Amino acid sequence: MTFSSIACVGIPFIGAGLLRRTKSRNATALLTWLTTTIVFGLSVYFFVQTRASYPLSDMTAAIFSLISAFTWWLVSFYLPEYMKAEERSRSFFIFFLLTLGAVQGIFLANNWIVLLAFFEIMTVTSFFWVIHNQNQEAITAGYFYLFLGIAAGLFIAIGLVFINSLGLPLEIGVNLVSLSNSTLLSWAIACLLIGFGIKAGMVPLHIWLPKAHTVAPTPGSALLSGIIIKCGVYGMIRTAQTINLTNPMASFPTNTGLIVIILGILTMLLGVSLALLQSNAKRLLAYHSVSQVGYIIIGIGTAIYLGNEGSYGLAGAIYHTINHAFFKAALFLGTGIIYLRTGQQNLYKMGGLWRKFPITALLMLIAVFGITGTPGFNGYVSKSLLHHGIIEAAAVGGGLLPWIERLFNLVGVGTTASFAKLYYLAFLRKADPELEINGKENGLLIFPLLIFALVITFIGIKPELFLNKAIILALPELGVSSINNLLATNFWVGREIFNMIITLLAGISFCAIGFRFHLFHYQSPAWLSIEYLGRNFIKGLSYLGSLIERKYEQAMANLSAQAKTCYTWILNFSSRLDTSGWGTSGQISFSNINFDVYLILIAFAILLIYILL
Amino acid sequence: MSTFNVLLPILTGTIGGTLIANLRKISKNRRNTLVLVTSVLTALFTWRLLPNVLGYKSVLVGIDEGLRPDPLGMVFALLSSTLWVFATIYSFGYMADKPRQRSYFAYFLISAGVTLGIALAGNLLVLYICYELLTFTTYPLVIYNRDQEAIKAGNRYIIYSLIGAAFILAGLVAVWIWTEGNLTFGNAPLLANLEAKPGMGWIFLLFLIGFGVKAAVMPLHGWLPQAMVAPTPISALLHAVAVVNAGVFGLLRVIYSVYGHSLLSELKVGPIALVIVSITIIVGSLIAMKQDVLKKRLAYSTISQLSYILLGAFTLHPIGLIGALFQMINHGILKITLFFSVGLITEKTGKVKVSDVKGLGPSLPLVFIAFGIVSLGMVGMLPLNGFWSKYYLMQGSTVSGYWPLVIVLLISGLLNAFYYLPIVVSAFTKNTTNHLQPIKLGTNGFLMLVPTILLVMTALALGIWPQLCMPLVNSVIDYFF
């Protein structure tokens, strides 16, 4: 814990406290911007400091902290302009800063308990982004977000309890598998993966993600998708670290790795295939978050699977986390500009927007190049690293893994197709005559997009810079020490580029076929969805509760009626026996007392007799 | 420690209460001052016992061993006497314009003394007598409203409690026979030197039923939701902290001071009791989900949460016991805060139902924020203290080998979220039907708000620094294990 890391966490909370006192909208915006700027500056300082003291310090934390502070800083330019259209903007600003503090806390924590505490705070504060609009849809999405977030916290807590029960330390960065190899530890790791997987949007626990991303105000969606789900990814990377990565091909890491890879590919496939069917721009982007997180999960999975040799997978996962933050935030912010000026999120009602928003169209095109993995943009870099990783895993493991490599390419095609669809429907196609456009692009709205686009292109052109200066330094402490291959990686291999271009062309033609044959309008039946099951499960539970209560009250009423009958009968009987006339008990009225307990007394008497005998 | 010191907190409460009962012509302000002084003094006198108990090497003496503070008793005594002070301040606000204040405050204080009697009891007989007394001194508080519903609830309360007490008496006699007249709690459990007999298990069942009534173990919980007709501070204090905890505390005493953990694990009552307790936890939460009346929802939540304490205790493992004690403290603090907030809502807006609080958030922001924070604690989220009790309970169940209990706790945590959080969320959502202005709290509202906020802060502090409770909790563990 250095001063700068504590300040990174503390300053947003102080800023949020001060925001309650600001007088005007401008002051609020300025204070928010100032706070994020300070945090960004501090995190840069922290990053530089960490690099200087390498290898003693924690590079992973520094990278994640830097990326989140950077994204937040850029969004804080965009936020005031966007929030002019929304009600209660002050509360959004407050939660914007609070969540920044919590996220920094997650990344800079050196202890699982502290991490969990900030994780819970982050869940609660970002929940207010989701319900900001307060309509029915937002509230429903908010409940999904909150309950699954709480479930995530509980699962993580259980994982920590298991680790602690084995007498293992709760410091982050300890290779636990080398200390103990009981089944309880594998349960602990499973619980941690489930908990962080919920936040990351891993299938089948992703159900909150598309809902929440769609209803939140756009800056919120951009950060939810760019950074918040990366908190889950960060946790998964840290969990991978607890598995002894330096000891390859032991059965436990291999099995865990395989499961994680399969979950990753399922996440990719489901995300991308649902994304193809969406007509709402933000929902489409949200499903792509699910699918892109699948890429990252596959990278983590190959790292666990290959142990010490898994440098490509792990580096690819971290790199893709960063890249996804940039291009997805840019895409959301671009969609936000269109929504702000046209009030429209439905892709089929947009069209021809490149005339009105030329700069947005250009910058979003760069982001689209990024997410589809076009060579020369950042997505290509991390996707080829991940691809390398999966090929290596397939070479070692065989079995299912070669198939997963093919599916991996297929997802690339799907991604391209759905972004070709988005871009065509929104920008290129002829304009819908009913579309109303009020206002134009605006410097403050464009600025973050511009920076993101520059970064996307820069990483695409000089991928080695950030890889060698930061990510590779983080690998040894995460347990992957054979990094020489990675240092010598050449991204400009003809075959790789050719592969990617084939994928892009396949995607675009698939999109064309889709439009031709109306494939993008398929609706799956409601009962198939997980949220349907979930909601009915909760309804069923509460019904069960009320049923039990009713039955209990009924049983008690019956019991008391029976007891009263019994009591009267005994009273009558004993008064008949009574000849001396002392028995005036019949005149004492017990009628106002509930004699439901008479039977218990009898049971007690029987019990006593039983014991005595 | 002199005898008098141990007797002092109990006497302060009971004498203060009796005094209030007999001062008919005193002005309201003077009476309130007297009540406040009495309850603060009671708490202070209890806290004064703490240093001696922490290093329990010093000889603990009492009136013929009748009163004898040990670490376990101290946990309960400190918790209830401290929360009583908060409830006293809250009561001043709540009761300000209500009738029958004299009898209210009199029984309120006497109950404080009697609860401390249970906590500081040095033998089973004194414990039993105080336990019975608590029923009688709290009965007038339950039927405070004097209407049909209150009388009915009071009847149910008193019948359940008295029959439960009869079971305890039977168990007490059996223990008395076995130990040849020795009922004094000590370092070693009462039955430590005896061989396990099959009858012991049955007698334990008697204790379980007897104390289980007040601890609201299902199916003996019927009185608790009904008793919520009492004024809110009473529901808060008696039915979420003192009375129900008295039942739980009695069971802890029976488990650790009368039977002892080694004898009980020999008798194999642990698994059976754990099943009952788990059912109570889950079913209590399930029923709470459908309750529309705020206080009833809290009542069923209490039923479920109390069984957490028993769950920890029945694992018969030191870490489980740590969890149980944390849960006793944390649940007390959290639940009393929830009741305080509900009382404020009901007093200021007249709404008693969950479905009616929609959109009320902006008119009572602090109250609903307090409610929200505390319900997150109930769910078991950091940085609230509720997390730590769950944490240690889960750890206790894992270490002692009862790992399915972890699943019970997980489900219950989720159910807690399902029935608490919608209240807060709906309070802060738009309500188009009625636009409410911010409500002025006034002096009375302020008196009610201050303890609520202070307790929220306490919950946060104990969540961030759980080690604050650790010296006392650890000394309980040292004492019994």
DSSP per position, A198-240: HHHT-TTS-THHHHHHHHS-HHHHHHIIIIIHHHHHHHHHHHH
What is the predicted pLDDT for the residue at A422?
87
Q: What is the mean pLDDT of residues A44-73?
A: 86
Average per-residue pLDDT for chain B = 86
The Cα of B163 is separated from the nearest Cα of chain A by a number of Å equal to 8
What is the predicted pLDDT for the residue at A37?
93
Backbone angles phi, psi at A58, to 5 degrees: -95, 100
A147 → closest Cβ in B155, B166, B417: B417
Quick check: B382 and A545 CB within 8 A?
A: no
Q: What is the mean pLDDT of residues A165-183?
A: 76
Q: What is the mean pLDDT of residues A48-54?
A: 83
Q: What is the mean pLDDT of residues B307-328?
A: 91
What is the predicted pLDDT for the residue at A588?
44
Residue B219: asked if its preceding bond is cis (omega within 30°), the reply is yes
Q: Which helix (H) or strand (E) holds B40?
A: helix B28-54
CB A108 within 8 A of CB A3: no
Convert the pLDDT of each residue in B419-429 to its tens digit: 899 888 888 88
CB B341 within 8 A of CB B377: no
pLDDT reading at A346 higher than 90: no
Convert the pLDDT of each residue in A388-419 to its tens digit: 888 888 888 777 788 888 888 888 888 888 88
Q: Is A549 touching B (CB cutoff 8 A)?
A: yes
Helix/strand/coil percent split, chain B, to 5: 80, 0, 20
Q: Is B283 touching A (CB cutoff 8 A)?
A: yes
The Cα of A362 is separated from the nearest Cα of chain B by a number of Å equal to 39
A157 → closest Cβ in B155, B222, B391: B391
Q: What is the mean pLDDT of residues B403-414?
A: 90
The Cα of B330 is separated from the nearest Cα of chain A by a number of Å equal to 17
How far apart, in Å, are the Cα atoms of A491 and each of A104, A388, B13, B92?
32, 11, 80, 74
Q: How confident is the model at residue B334 (pLDDT cuts 50, 70, 90)?
A: very high
CB B80 within 8 A of CB B116: yes
pLDDT reading at B433 higher than 70: no
B290 → closest Cβ in A135, A545, A601: A545
Spell out the residues 6+ positions from residue A147 whose beta carbon is closer than 8 angstroms to its own.
Answer: B414, B417, B418, B421
pLDDT reading at B62 higher than 60: no
Strand partners, B353: B293
The Cα of A238 is separated from the nearest Cα of chain B by a number of Å equal to 20
Q: Which residue of B has its CA nearest to A550?
A: B287
Convert the pLDDT of each residue in B133-148 to its tens digit: 898 888 888 888 888 8
Strand partners, A280: A346
Q: Is B361 touching A (CB cutoff 8 A)?
A: no
Quick check: B155 and A160 CB within 8 A?
A: no
Chain B residues within 8 A of A600 when measuring between CB atoms: 163
Q: Which residue of B has its CA nearest to A87?
A: B430
How far apart, in Å, are the Cα atoms of A542 and each of A292, B192, B291?
36, 45, 9
CB B140 within 8 A of CB B62: no
pLDDT reading at A533 higher than 50: yes
What is the predicted pLDDT for the residue at B2?
66
Chain A residues within 8 A of B379 when measuring between CB atoms: 150
> Between chain A and chain B, how many beta carbons pairs sit less than 8 Å apart?
119
Quick check: A596 and B159 CB within 8 A?
A: yes
- DSSP letter at B439 equals P
b/e per residue A416-429 (b: at least 16 CB within 10 A): bbbbbbbbbbbbeb
CB B234 within 8 A of CB B144: yes
b/e per residue A133-170 (b: at least 16 CB within 10 A): bbeeebbbbbbbbbbbbbbbbbbbbbbbbbbbbeebee
Q: What is the mean pLDDT of residues A255-260?
A: 84
The Cα of B23 is separated from the nearest Cα of chain A by a number of Å equal to 33
Quick check: A593 and B287 CB within 8 A?
A: no
Q: DSSP of B442-457, one letter per residue?
A: HHHHHHHHHHHHHHHH
Q: What is the rounded CA–CA span in Å between residue B184 and residue A306?
A: 63
Lowest mean pLDDT among A117-126, A219-228, A567-576, B25-34: A567-576
Q: What is the mean pLDDT of residues A466-476?
A: 82
CB A517 within 8 A of CB A276: no
What is the predicted pLDDT for the residue at A72?
92
pLDDT reading at A420 higher than 70: yes
Q: What is the rounded CA–CA span in Å between residue B34 and residue B272?
A: 48
Spell out the residues 6+ positions from residue B387 whose beta carbon is closer than 8 angstroms to its own.
Answer: A157, B377, B380, B381, B463
The C-alpha angle with vertex B377 and arms to B376 and B378, in degrees rounded to 5, equals: 90
- Would residue A58 be called left, alpha or beta, if left means φ above 0 and alpha means ψ between -120 and 50 degrees? beta
Q: What is the rounded CA–CA span in Å between residue A344 and residue B365?
A: 34
Lowest mean pLDDT among A468-472, A522-526, A535-539, B246-250: A522-526
**Residue the block writes with tokens 């009913």:** A434
pLDDT reading at A594 higher than 50: no
Lowest mean pLDDT among A224-228, B1-5, B249-253, B439-443: B1-5
pLDDT reading at A577 higher than 90: no
Convert the pLDDT of each residue in B361-379 to its tens digit: 788 888 889 999 999 999 9
Q: Which B-chain residues 287-316 have CB contacts (< 8 A) with chain A?
A: 287-290
Cα–Cα nearest to A334, from A221, A203, A494, A499: A221
Q: Is A556 touching B (CB cutoff 8 A)?
A: yes
Which site among B381, B384, B406 would you substitute to test the A interface, given the most A Cβ atoms closer than 10 Å to its Cβ?
B381
Burial category of A26 from C-beta neighbours within 10 Å (exposed 0-12, middle 13-18, buried 19 and up): exposed
Quick check: B418 and A542 CB within 8 A?
A: yes
Lowest mean pLDDT among A79-88, A469-478, A591-600, B152-161: A591-600
- Would residue B475 be called left, alpha or beta, if left means φ above 0 and alpha means ψ between -120 and 50 degrees? alpha
Q: Which two tokens stand for residue B343?
A: 């009382």
The Cα of A546 is separated from the nearest Cα of chain B by a number of Å equal to 5
Q: What is the rounded CA–CA span in Å between residue B135 and residue B25?
A: 28
Convert the pLDDT of each residue in B25-53 to its tens digit: 888 888 888 889 999 999 998 888 888 77
Cα–Cα nearest to A233, from A192, A188, A186, A197: A197
Q: Which residue has the higher pLDDT, A536 or A381?
A: A381
Could you give the 3-state DSSP secondary structure of residue A8?
helix
CB B131 within 8 A of CB B108: no
**Residue the block writes with tokens 């995300």:** A271
pLDDT over 70 percentage in chain B: 96
Q: What is the dihedral of CA A253, A259, A260, A265, to 10 degrees?
A: 140
Cα–Cα nearest to A589, from A604, A571, A601: A571
Q: What is the rounded CA–CA span in Å between residue A208 and residue A151?
A: 12
* A328: amino acid identity, one letter: K
Q: What is the rounded CA–CA span in Å between residue A586 and residue A576?
A: 11
Q: How confident is the model at residue A592 (pLDDT cuts 50, 70, 90)?
A: very low
Lowest mean pLDDT among B285-294, B405-414, B436-445: B436-445
Q: How confident is the model at residue B332 (pLDDT cuts 50, 70, 90)?
A: very high
Q: How confident is the model at residue A587 (pLDDT cuts 50, 70, 90)?
A: very low
ipTM score assigned to the predicted complex? 0.91
Q: Is B366 touching A (CB cutoff 8 A)?
A: no
The Cα of B10 is separated from the nearest Cα of chain A by a number of Å equal to 32
Q: Which two tokens stand for residue B49?
A: 């016992």
- Report residue A173 CA to chain centroid gap: 22
User: pTM, whole model, 2 decimals?
Assistant: 0.89
pLDDT over 90 percentage in chain B: 23
Q: What is the dihedral of CA A490, A494, A497, A503, to 10 degrees?
A: -140
pLDDT over 90 percentage in chain A: 21
What is the predicted pLDDT for the residue at A597?
59
Q: What is the rounded CA–CA span in Å between residue A180 and residue A182?
A: 6
pLDDT reading at B266 higher than 50: yes
CB B168 within 8 A of CB B212: no
Q: Which B-chain residues 415-434 have CB contacts (< 8 A) with chain A?
A: 415, 417-418, 421-422, 425, 429-430
Quick check: B289 and A160 CB within 8 A?
A: no
Chain B residues within 8 A of A558 when measuring between CB atoms: none
Chain B residues within 8 A of A538 when measuring between CB atoms: 418
Structural domain boundaries in chain A:
3-519, 533-612
Average per-residue pLDDT for chain A = 83
Chain B residues within 8 A of A113 when measuring between CB atoms: 382
Quick check: A556 and B222 CB within 8 A?
A: yes
Q: Is B399 touching A (CB cutoff 8 A)?
A: yes
Which site among A91, A130, A165, A208 would you substitute to test the B interface, given the most B Cβ atoms closer than 10 Å to its Cβ?
A165
Q: Which helix (H) or strand (E) holds A301?
A: helix A281-306
Q: DSSP of A122-148, one letter per residue?
A: HHHHHHHHHTTT-SHHHHHHHHHHHHH
CA atoms within 13 A on the CB side of A293: 36
CB A369 within 8 A of CB A350: no
